[in-house]
Structure 1
Amino acid sequence: MSSTNTPDNADAPDSGSTDAAAPAVAAPDAAADIHWRDGDTEHTARWHSEGGWPAPKRVVVVDDTLTADAAYRLAKSGTGLLWQGDFQNARQLLTAMARRVDRRRRTPATGLSAAFEISRADALRRARLLGLVLVSLDADHTLSLRRAPDVRQACDEAYGPGTRASVRSLRELLGVIGAHEWRVKGVPVAALGASIHPHYGVFSPVRGEYLDLVATAPLPATGLAFDIGTGSGVIAAMLAQRGFDRVVATDMEPRALACARENLTRLGYADQVEVVEADLFPPGRADLVVCNPPWLPASAATSTDAAVYDPDSRMLRGFLAGLAGHLTDDGEGWLILSNLAELLGLRSRGALLDLIDDAGLAVVARLDTRPTHRKVADTSDPLHAARAAEVTSLWRLRRA
């Protein structure tokens, strides 16, 4: 499952939101420009937003003299705040604004389905307001602020080489910096006995419970395996480690393909695992086909939500519908899925079983585990009741 590697959704597929202010889900417009005035001088730079947010129509230059209350009021009016003060003070301002936004969260609704919709809308509002604190990068991605870190390598990794001056949200830039740190340090994966180095925009395997299922489920055979939607390549690496002669890992996202190839090479599986661009399945039939699709069948509010939410269960439906035609006679398909969607009233267990049955598949067994991530214990979370009851399952499927 490829997904955005950012602070808001790094630990579980549960962030994002939709409301009337949601931007269209589309790639950022690389040709868009942003304009502002500094004294008597007009400035223009390229606008870039990974989330697909449009450039603010009004931009004012601000510095360390701006208070958090004033910044919050300006952001609520839709004004972009182009920071030209101290970098560390900008981070503190963002934190102070976040506290003000969070104080205005709505009272959780009765019922998990309603609470989920309110939570998504509040998260989107939070992202929209905090995303209006802006910074300017030089053409080579230099951040020319006092006490600013050297962000050039992190930006080159996330965006590619710079070509002209640009303006981006500070919040996004902090996500790029954090992703670079994860890429350098790696994320230890106990089930693999090694670390995975996620790239910006690619799901980080910090929720290890589903990987424990992949590591322990009985194998039907060890010839050829497919890993559908490989993301960082962690499942493909685990299948190679478990003894498959050959693994084909697929994804549609260029960042995920590059990330998977780098991780598999680092782990020594480049000769054993082929990473290919494909929408779901590669050609042929395999002894094992594994898929960990996005777990929530809801609309993606921004382009960075696309691998967290699976509108109308597109990937899930496509995987199940095509699975029988890509299995060997005794082959198995492993569907890794949380029941969070069922708990939130977004998809019933009966609907899932109907999809399996309609695809000509039968359930051999289901292996279950409970998550251990930090949100399970967060009683202040309006969705805590669902998270506390969540179960992640590995469904073993065969042709009926």
Structure 2
Amino acid sequence: MPVSPAVPVSPPPAPALIHWMEGGEAHSARWRSERGAAPPKRVVLADDSMSADTAYRLACEGTGLLWRGDFQNARMLVQALARRVDKPARPKRDKRVKAQKAGEAVQAVEAGAPAEAPAPIFPQAFHLHRQAQAQRARVLGMVLVPFDADYGIPLRRAPDAKKACAEAWGPARDGAGPSVASLRELMGFISAHEWRRKGVPIPALGEDGPHNRIHPHYGVFSPVRGEYIDLVAQAPVPEGMADLLGFDIGTGTGVLAAVLALRSGVQRVVATDQDPRALACARDNLKRLGFPQVEVREADLFPEGRAHIIVCNPPWLPARAGSPVEHAVYDEDSRMLLGFLKGLAAHLEPEGEGWLILSDLAEHLGLRTRAWLMQAIDAAGLKVIDRLDAQPQHPKASDASDALHAARAAEVTSLWRLGAKQA
């Protein structure tokens, strides 16, 4: 019997390296970036003697600043860079012209003319905002810190961030050698570690205590916006059916699967995701909370079979994610939203319901229309049974300095109760 030739296995790609000169010698180390940024092509050494203005000029040019000074001073430098990035540009228009126009507007209102409506938000404003945020991240990400093989930070007054780094990068491996990463990214690891350690209280899971907290892992969207969770806790469960089975599509931390499992009549829930971090996070949370009736499965959208209630909270904005972490916010070409709608009818039990959780922020930004959404629902063979609305209470909704404030202030989060059309 002939033996099939062995299929060659491609070796894993070599890790990216960052290079710099120090003490007249060439040095290199592994480059780490969770957002997929390339290592700076030019790197200079920096310490407490470097001024913020010099650091800002170099960072804007794309030069990496490998820190050799006090760790806490490096943090202060990043804050100084942020102030320079965020400093508003000087107005170019003459103040007298502005004053004249303001006076004309007041006179018009006093004469009975309608006041000018607020300027609408268009996609261009959203994309310009994202570009500005990306440029900000690039500049602030140029302050770099070194790591030993065990994730220790060989700088004065550096914190012990080994656990935070292991949660983001995986366990430290023997022989891995030193590495370099952005200080800003490290601070994100530390912040995520604190969220994971303390947990996020979820009132829908019960009164305050250790059994109503969700502990988000790094890279998994934290359920800090409670309005969409409350909608799942309040939506009416389909009547006339017993031993209900629920699906939670794209479970993330597992919070909606847990809330769904608490609803009257729901006996079992299958929660799905395809992100390994989300799967590990959901399993950890559901085990800690004591929900053996919730099974977490790896799947792209739906598991096999049909359910009486199918919940989905897709990313709300149809745009391309700039980093792995942003996939919880941006749904390029509305892939997940359309995938859920197109597959929903085939996975619903008779008289079952799909609960689509969606913000209308994309509509206010001009990224999609309500008519587009209604057409997508109809084309998928679905009908709208009802819609429950909630006003977001997050800080950005009331922050007038935010570039997208007009859209955020008008935002409404909805739970769309969808059913399959009768054949």
TM-score, shorter chain, exceeding 0.5: yes
After superposition, residues 195-210 of structure 1 pair within 5 angstroms as 195-210=213-228
Query: Percent of aligned pairs with the same residue?
Result: 65
After superposition, residues 55-94 of structure 1 pair within 5 angstroms as 55-94=39-78
Residue number in structure 2 paired with 1:9? none
State the SS of the aligned residue for 1:191: helix
Residue number in structure 1 paired with 2:203? 190
Runs of 4+ aligned structure 1 residues displaced above 3 Å come to 104-112
State the SS of the aligned residue for 2:137: helix
1:198-244: CA deviations, max 9, x gaps? 01000000000111101100112652111000000000111112242
1:161-219: CA deviations, max 9, x gaps? 12331111000000000111111100111222211000100000000011110110011
Give the counterpart letter for 2:86 in structure 1.
Answer: D
Kindly indicate whether residue 256 of structure 2 is the aligned counterpart of residue 219 of structure 1.
Answer: no
User: For residues 368 and 407 of structure 2, what CA distance do their matches in structure 1 show?
Assistant: 14
Residue number in structure 1 paired with 2:81? 97
State the SS of the aligned residue for 2:204: coil
Residue number in structure 2 paired with 1:144? 154
Shift in Å at residue 111 of structure 1? 3.6
Give the counterpart letter for 2:237 in structure 1.
Answer: L
Matched-pair contact (CA < 8 Å) for 1:112–1:383: no
Matched-pair contact (CA < 8 Å) for 2:121–2:404: no
1:126-175: CA deviations, max 9, x gaps? 00111111111111100111111101111111111123311110000000
| Matched length | 372
1:333-368: CA deviations, max 9, x gaps? 000000000001000000000000000000000000
Kindly indicate whether residue 272 of structure 2 is the aligned counterpart of residue 250 of structure 1.
Answer: yes
Kindly indicate whether residue 140 of structure 2 is the aligned counterpart of residue 130 of structure 1.
Answer: yes
User: For residues 386 and 204 of structure 2, what CA distance do their matches in structure 1 show?
Assistant: 21
Residue number in structure 2 paired with 1:7? none
Give the counterpart letter for 2:354 in structure 1.
Answer: G
Kindly indicate whether residue 330 of structure 2 is the aligned counterpart of residue 288 of structure 1.
Answer: no
Shift in Å at residue 321 of structure 1? 0.3
State the SS of the aligned residue for 1:143: coil
User: For residues 115 and 165 of structure 1, what CA distance do their matches in structure 2 show?
Assistant: 42
Shift in Å at residue 301 of structure 1? 2.3
Matched-pair contact (CA < 8 Å) for 2:121–2:366: no
- Equivalent position to 1:389, from 410, 418, 421: 410
- Equivalent position to 1:239, from 260, 266, 273: 260
Residue number in structure 2 paired with 1:173? 186
Shift in Å at residue 248 of structure 1? 0.6
Matched-pair contact (CA < 8 Å) for 1:109–1:115: no
Shift in Å at residue 113 of structure 1? 2.7
Give the counterpart letter for 2:271 in structure 1.
Answer: A
Matched-pair contact (CA < 8 Å) for 1:29–1:48: no
Kindly indicate whether residue 28 of structure 2 is the aligned counterpart of residue 44 of structure 1.
Answer: yes
Kindly indicate whether residue 256 of structure 2 is the aligned counterpart of residue 260 of structure 1.
Answer: no
TM-score by length of 2: 0.85
Kindly indicate whether residue 250 of structure 2 is the aligned counterpart of residue 229 of structure 1.
Answer: yes
TM-score by length of 1: 0.90
User: For residues 153 and 261 of structure 2, what CA distance do their matches in structure 1 show?
Assistant: 41
User: For residues 180 and 89 of structure 2, what CA distance do their matches in structure 1 show?
Assistant: 29
Matched-pair contact (CA < 8 Å) for 1:106–1:118: no
After superposition, residues 10-25 of structure 1 pair within 5 angstroms as none
Larger RCO (CA under 8 A, 6+ residues apart): 1
After superposition, the Cα gap between the structure-2 partners of 1:259 and 1:105, relative to the gap in structure 1 and judged at 3 Å, is farther
Matched-pair contact (CA < 8 Å) for 2:121–2:364: no
State the SS of the aligned residue for 1:306: helix
Give the alignment's Cα RMSD to 1 decimal. 1.7
* Runs of 5+ unmatched residues, structure 1: 1-27
State the SS of the aligned residue for 1:155: helix
* Runs of 5+ unmatched residues, structure 2: 1-11, 92-117, 207-211
Matched-pair contact (CA < 8 Å) for 1:229–1:250: yes
State the SS of the aligned residue for 2:201: strand
After superposition, the Cα gap between the structure-2 partners of 1:110 and 1:249, relative to the gap in structure 1 and judged at 3 Å, is closer
Residue number in structure 1 paired with 2:340? 319
Residue number in structure 2 paired with 1:15? none
User: For residues 207 and 390 of structure 1, what CA distance do their matches in structure 2 show?
Assistant: 13
Shift in Å at residue 106 of structure 1? 9.7
Give the counterpart letter for 2:141 in structure 1.
Answer: G
User: For residues 186 and 89 of structure 2, what CA distance do their matches in structure 1 show?
Assistant: 25
